[in-house]
Amino acid sequence: MSRPPNFAPGTKEKMQELLKITKTSSELKRVQCILLGSVGSSSENISLLVGFHPQYVRVIWSEDRKKGEDFLLGERRGGRRNMLLEHKEE
């Protein structure tokens, strides 16, 4: 069973504030991963609660440490799959 990483002081309070401004379910789940990890839950326990794989919970922890709160909000999907090309670009 994995142990949660050390989170910065005040992480719990920041995540509780972010819970109030999340707009999508994916944002909510990412914030919950950080919040539950900051109170001592393991990635396995968190994955059961939010529906993510335990490894993805650890990825979220890692990205939060690297990028901060900006990583948690906003959609993480996409790319240029359905982009229409000009005739010259084809």
Average pLDDT of the residues in 32-42: 91
Q: How far is CA 45 from the centre of its chain?
A: 16
Cβ proximity of 32 and 50 under 8 Å? yes
Band (32; pLDDT cuts 50, 70, 90)? very high
Read off the pLDDT of each residue in 40-69 and give the average, rounded to a whole number. 91
CA atoms within 13 A on the CB side of 58: 11
**How confident is the model at residue 3, as a pLDDT?**
59
Residue 2 has pLDDT above 60, yes or no: no
pTM score, two decimals?
0.76
- The pLDDT score that the predictor gives to residue 82 is 62
> What integer pLDDT is reported at residue 54 of this predicted model?
94
